[in-house]
């Protein structure tokens, strides 16, 4: 027990909690008042007292793989309280002090796997609603903190220096700072970070002074804890535009500057639809390959995977997506992750509108928007019908996360079903001319706030109260029924016609394939074609080989294409491609690619053991969330962990 930590009388005991699902002791914990009534993924009680600002002072220790320092919390008391309840995960707390320097007693509850602990700070006297509190917590993170990946030099491009980056969404912020780790709470922050001199420190904030080994930051916009981010590496930067720079190791910097050169153009198109960009700066950081997502919308500094560096700007949609989060997600935020579709469904919807607005010809723009939506629909169908199952409650737009870790609930459903719902609403109320004004009104109303689906619904119904069409919406089916969406819009299929014709040719074993078949295809048409093939019966090996060679997809530099090609090879049980497959999953960690490939390998009984062996050998190079989710995909339990 640390100094100041008292006996936890009411410790909750539930090792299986968050590991086995909602039938474990979650309801008991809730009955004990241990979980937030606002958020099933947090212990904190923001309705009692709410954090408004955090000042961080941290030292980055690459030797010990820890952050060490303190967090000063400015808290507004909303109800009469004797204690302040926060989330923490494996934090080693050395002291907690009040504003006058006096030491405060605290209880750190039992660590519940994947959920962390309830940190109860006992206040020496009752504080009444309206008062303000200042609390200083001195702590050290755990070397295994789930939000952090500490990379050895060999895992970087330069091979000389270590690297650190974070991923706090959804509930990993509690492993790097004690906080109310729920998106219901928004706070501003500042930080002073110390790291060895040759390193650059970046955060999801405006960078101030960087003097010798100390860098300061300030984030004057309120944000939820999941948007706190840090990266430390030996980095370079290039200017992309008046408010943007791209950062990466020097080996990737020129390619990155070229790939993302159009960032300012996207920002301006986004502002035209959504209003002014409020976060001042928009920088990009290209991370090492183990970064688990395509992009993460950390304010002022989007994190992206290097797999976006396709050399043809074809993955610009990911950048547009992250830019759109500056409004939906970062400015207007889901109240908890049960309403994640409010972040992601809106963002995909806006991403496609803004992407189309960059095309001058209005007919082409609509076709392109519909083409992207059709690709999304295919991915949604694969997720619902093949991976999750149509009756799986996680295919609902609004999910129940009691007893379910948000990382286990993650899928394309909130992205695509959410975006499709908004597209349906847009069509229903009279098209973009009407719906764009609604979008701006929504962004203005909930700016700097967090909301849930009921608040969205109430606002929409009030806004369109004179529009009779809105009465047709079957809210229950859209929001609370599992499976595919109840209505699919009538998308323009002009851009998929050539693909459908080609699929007929591929099916005809007498027709020979040649590069001319796809010479005029855009990268997205190639992706769409391959995605369709994944959803069809496996190709015979000979046909597969001809397709790979003639269509130049075998060894393609575009990871969206290569990924789908390798899945086709697995589907056809082509064991000559297994080396390429394992190289692919070992050389980058984007879960969008790695998880389906591992799931496909698992389904191939002859290579299942090899796939598991490959995973166990490489697990130590993966970020927490990748290892955690892949273990589930491969049906492994903790006991098989390779600790060498």
Ligand X SMILES: CC/C=C\C/C=C\C[C@@H](O)/C=C/C=C/C=C\[C@@H](O)CCCC(=O)O
Q: Which residues are annotated as a binding site for a peptide?
A: 167-169, 292-297, 590-592
Rule CB under 6 A: choose which of 106, 189, 217, 293 binds ligand X: 293
The minimum distance between CB 430 and ligand X, in angstroms, equals 29
Nearer to ligand X among residue 133 and residue 409 (C-beta)? 409
The minimum distance between CB 295 and Zn ion, in angstroms, equals 7
Rule CB under 6 A: choose which of 50, 164, 257, 296 binds ligand X: 296
The two three-digit tokens of residue 613, written as one number = 């062996």
Rule CB under 6 A: choose which of 162, 170, 288, 355 binds ligand X: 170
Going through 515-594 in order, the beta strands assigned E by DSSP cover none
In the set 236, 249, 322, 351, the catalytic residue is 322
Nearer to ligand X among residue 151 and residue 319 (C-beta)? 319
- Using the rule CB under 6 A, give the single segment among 288-296, 540-548, 566-574, 605-613 that binds ligand X: 288-296
Binding partner selected for residue 170 from ligand X, Zn ion, none, CB under the kind-specific 5 to 8 Å limit:
ligand X
Distance of CA 522 to the CA centre of its chain: 27
337 near ligand X, rule: CB under 6 A: yes
What are the φ and ψ backbone dihedral angles of 515, each rounded to 5 degrees?
Answer: -55, -30
406 near ligand X, rule: CB under 6 A: yes
**404-438 in b/e burial notation, b at 16+ Cβ within 10 A?**
bbbbbbbbbbbbbbbbbbbbbbbebbeebeebeeb
Binding partner selected for residue 260 from Zn ion, ligand X, none, CB under the kind-specific 5 to 8 Å limit:
none
Given a contact cutoff of 8 angstroms between Cβ atoms, the answer to whether 515 and 552 are in contact is: yes
418 near ligand X, rule: CB under 6 A: no
- Using the rule CB under 6 A, give the single segment among 239-247, 280-288, 401-409, 556-564 that binds ligand X: 401-409
- Using the rule CB under 6 A, give the single segment among 50-58, 99-107, 409-417, 580-588 that binds ligand X: 409-417
Nearer to ligand X among residue 217 and residue 410 (C-beta)? 410
The question of whether 415 is a catalytic residue gets the answer: yes
Instruction: Please state the residue numbers annotated as binding site for Zn(2+).
Output: 321, 325, 344
Using CB under 5 A, list all residues that contact Zn ion.
344, 347
The minimum distance between CB 296 and Zn ion, in angstroms, equals 8
d(CA 251, CA 156): 10
Rg (CA), the chain: 25
Binding partner selected for residue 162 from ligand X, Zn ion, none, CB under the kind-specific 5 to 8 Å limit:
none
d(CA 586, CA 289): 10
What are the CB-based long-range contacts (under 8 Å, 24+) for 32-35? Answer: 34/10, 34/109, 34/118
What are the φ and ψ backbone dihedral angles of 292, each rounded to 5 degrees?
Answer: -80, -10
Given a contact cutoff of 8 angstroms between Cβ atoms, the answer to whether 418 and 348 are in contact is: yes
- Using the rule CB under 6 A, give the single segment among 195-203, 292-300, 355-363, 606-614 that binds ligand X: 292-300
The minimum distance between CB 184 and ligand X, in angstroms, equals 14
Rule CB under 6 A: choose which of 240, 399, 578, 634 binds ligand X: 399
77 pairs with which residues across the strands?
49
Residue 181, helix vs strand vs coil: coil
592 near ligand X, rule: CB under 6 A: yes
d(CA 270, CA 259): 19
294 near ligand X, rule: CB under 6 A: yes
563 near ligand X, rule: CB under 6 A: no
Binding partner selected for residue 354 from Zn ion, ligand X, none, CB under the kind-specific 5 to 8 Å limit:
none
Nearer to Zn ion among residue 149 and residue 412 (C-beta)? 412
The two three-digit tokens of residue 80, written as one number = 């009469």
Q: By C-alpha distance, which of 365, 369, 333 is closest to 349?
A: 369
Nearer to ligand X among residue 194 and residue 333 (C-beta)? 333
Nearer to ligand X among residue 93 and residue 203 (C-beta)? 203
d(CA 191, CA 381): 44
Q: Which residue reads 């007292």 in tokens?
A: 49
590 near ligand X, rule: CB under 6 A: yes
- Using the rule CB under 6 A, give the single segment among 261-269, 274-282, 407-415, 484-492 that binds ligand X: 407-415
d(CA 550, CA 553): 8
Binding partner selected for residue 407 from ligand X, Zn ion, none, CB under the kind-specific 5 to 8 Å limit:
ligand X
Nearer to ligand X among residue 524 and residue 590 (C-beta)? 590
Nearer to ligand X among residue 19 and residue 121 (C-beta)? 19
- Environment class of 465 (CB within 10 Å of its CB; exposed 0-12, middle 13-18, buried 19+): exposed
345 near ligand X, rule: CB under 6 A: no
409 near ligand X, rule: CB under 6 A: yes
Nearer to ligand X among residue 4 and residue 170 (C-beta)? 170
The two three-digit tokens of residue 360, written as one number = 């001058």
The question of whether 189 is a catalytic residue gets the answer: no
Given a contact cutoff of 8 angstroms between Cβ atoms, the answer to whether 564 and 268 are in contact is: no
Edge to edge, what strands does the sheet with 230-233 contain? 148-151, 163-166, 230-233, 200-203
Residue 232, helix vs strand vs coil: strand
Q: With DSSP H G I counted as helix, E B as strand and the rest as coil, what are the percentages for the chain, rounded to 5?
A: 40, 20, 40
533 near ligand X, rule: CB under 6 A: no
329 near ligand X, rule: CB under 6 A: no
- Using the rule CB under 6 A, give the single segment among 250-258, 404-412, 469-477, 567-575 that binds ligand X: 404-412
In the set 17, 189, 415, 551, the catalytic residue is 415
Rule CB under 6 A: choose which of 178, 403, 414, 485 binds ligand X: 414
The string of DSSP codes covering 491-535 is ---HHHHHHHHHHHHHH-TTSPP-GGGTTT--HHHHHHHHHHHHT
Query: Could you list the active site residues?
Result: 322, 415
Which residue ranges make up the site for ligand X (CB under 6 A)?
A: 169-170, 293-294, 296, 337, 340, 399, 406-407, 409-410, 414, 590, 592
């Amino acid at each position: 027990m640390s100094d100041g930590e008292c006996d936890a009388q009411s410790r909750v005991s539930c090792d299986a909690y968050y590991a086995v699902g909602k039938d474990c002791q979650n309801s008991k914990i809730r009955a004990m008042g241990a979980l937030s009534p606002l958020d099933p993924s947090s212990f904190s009680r923001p309705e009692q007292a709410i954090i408004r600002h955090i000042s961080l002072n941290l030292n980055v220790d690459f030797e010990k793989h820890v952050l060490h320092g303190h967090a000063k919390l400015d808290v507004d008391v909303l109800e009469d309280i004797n204690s302040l309840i926060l989330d923490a995960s494996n934090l080693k707390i050395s002291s907690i002090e009040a504003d006058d320097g006096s030491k405060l007693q605290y209880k750190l509850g039992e660590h519940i796997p994947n959920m962390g602990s309830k940190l109860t700070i006992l206040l020496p006297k009752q504080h009444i609603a309206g008062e303000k509190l200042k609390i200083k917590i001195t702590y050290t993170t755990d070397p295994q903190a789930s939000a952090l990946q500490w990379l050895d030099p060999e895992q970087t491009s330069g091979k000389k220096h270590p690297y650190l980056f974070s991923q706090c969404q959804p509930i990993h912020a509690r492993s790097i700072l004690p906080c109310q780790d729920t998106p219901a709470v928004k706070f501003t922050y500042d930080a002073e970070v110390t790291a060895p001199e040759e390193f650059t420190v970046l955060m999801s904030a405006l960078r101030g002074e960087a003097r010798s080994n100390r860098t300061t930051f300030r984030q004057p916009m309120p944000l939820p804890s999941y948007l706190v981010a840090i990266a430390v590496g030996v980095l370079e930067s290039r200017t992309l535009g008046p408010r943007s720079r791209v950062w990466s190791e020097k080996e990737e910097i020129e390619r990155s500057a070229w790939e993302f050169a159009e960032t300012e153009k996207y920002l301006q198109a986004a502002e035209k639809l959504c209003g002014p960009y409020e976060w001042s700066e928009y920088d990009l950081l290209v991370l090492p390959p183990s970064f688990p997502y395509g992009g993460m919308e950390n304010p002022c500094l989007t994190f992206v995977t290097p797999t976006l560096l396709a050399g043809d700007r074809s993955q610009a949609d990911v950048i547009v997506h992250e830019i759109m989060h500056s409004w939906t997600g970062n400015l207007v935020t889901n109240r908890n992750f049960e309403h994640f579709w409010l972040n992601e469904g809106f963002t995909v919807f806006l991403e496609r509108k803004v992407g189309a607005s960059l095309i001058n010809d209005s007919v082409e723009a609509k076709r392109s928007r519909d083409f992207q939506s059709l690709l999304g629909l295919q991915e949604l169908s694969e997720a619902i019908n093949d991976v999750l199952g149509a009756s799986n409650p996680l295919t609902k737009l609004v999910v129940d996360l009691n007893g379910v870790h948000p990382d286990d609930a993650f899928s394309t459903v909130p992205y695509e079903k959410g975006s499709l719902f908004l597209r349906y609403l847009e069509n229903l109320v009279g098209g973009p001319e009407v719906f764009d004004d609604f979008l701006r009104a929504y962004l203005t109303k909930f700016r700097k706030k967090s909301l849930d689906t009921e608040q969205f619904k109430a606002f929409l119904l009030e806004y369109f109260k004179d529009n009779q069409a809105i009465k047709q919406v079957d809210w229950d089916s859209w929001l609370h029924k599992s499976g595919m969406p109840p209505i699919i819009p009538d998308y323009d299929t002009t851009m998929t016609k050539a693909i459908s014709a080609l699929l007929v040719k591929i099916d005809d074993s007498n027709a020979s394939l040649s590069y001319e078949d796809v010479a005029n295809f855009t990268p997205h048409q190639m992706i769409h074609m391959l995605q369709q093939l994944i959803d069809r019966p496996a190709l015979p090996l000979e046909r597969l080989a001809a397709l790979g060679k003639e269509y130049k997809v075998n060894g393609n530099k575009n990871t969206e294409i290569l990924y789908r090609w390798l899945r086709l090879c697995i589907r056809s049980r082509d064991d000559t491609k297994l080396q390429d497959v394992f190289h692919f999953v070992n050389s980058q960690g984007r879960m969008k690619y790695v998880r389906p490939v591992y799931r496909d390998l698992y389904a191939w009984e002859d290579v299942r053991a090899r796939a598991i062996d490959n995973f166990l050998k490489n697990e130590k190079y993966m970020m927490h969330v990748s290892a955690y989710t892949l273990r589930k995909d491969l049906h492994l339990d903790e006991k098989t962990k390779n600790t060498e």
